Amino acid sequence: MPKCLVLDLDGTISDSLPDIAGALNRSLARHGKAALPLEQVRPMVGDGVGVLFQRGYAARGLVPSDQDMAEGLADYTAHSTDETYLYPGALEALRALKAAGWHLAVCTNKPGEAARILLDHLGVLPLLDAVGAGDSFAVRKPDPDHIRLTLHAAGATLEEAVMIGDHHNDVAAGKGAGLPTIFAAWGYGPAEVGKTADAVATRFADVPGLCAELRP
């Protein structure tokens, strides 16, 4: 079976924070509330759009309705590529892994439509063997079954896989599935998360070498 790198999306492959915060703040503006600064939104990211809106609205003393979340998701999907960019070295590293025979899969709590639009825009989608999104299965990170099901869709096994992400959900899901884990230090998660991972990547160019060390 091929080796496989499972990647988180937001904060790992791309800096999506400006567009995520933009959708949240436009939604808050419809209720006459002031925008949240990027640094306040940053720790809210990682558990899916619904949880993000709950946290963002709570910061302004509100509770989002189902309509708020549906409209917010539609707005984000329509604007998910406005200011989001690929982290430096990401495409080169992923191409190097593909050339070395690795499969690649994304496991994200972002809804599937928005994830695929973004990955296609970034030029990453053609490199992927599977996308396990937040609405692809009945579970999502930190549930390790999100990793297992994504790997199955990619035609890979747990015994040959590595997980990389910037969030505690990524490391927890990877470890729960029995995978060696890499913490993406450039992302949104605090440095403390790196202490629970098997390796820390400080730049994307580190990733192919770490994968080779973790799955020789």
Is 19 marked active-site?
Answer: no
* Residues linked to residue 184 through DSSP beta bridges, in sequence order: 201
Q: Which of 8, 10, 15, 170 is catalytic?
A: 8
- DSSP states of 101-139: T-EEEEE-SS-HHHHHHHHHHHT-GGG-SEEE-TTTSS-
How far is the C-alpha of 133 from the C-alpha of 115, rounded, in Å? Answer: 7
Closest CA relative to residue 57, chosen from 28, 19, 21:
28
Instruction: Answer positive or negative: Cα dihedral of 76, 167, 43, 14.
Output: negative
Question: Could you give the count of Cα atoms lying within 13 Å of 27 in the half-sphere of its Cβ?
Answer: 31
Residue 111 CA: distances (Å) to CA of 24, 25, 34, 175: 15, 19, 26, 23
Closest CA relative to residue 136, chosen from 157, 115, 156:
115
Q: Are 103 and 6 in contact (CB under 8 A)?
A: no
Known catalytic residues are: 8
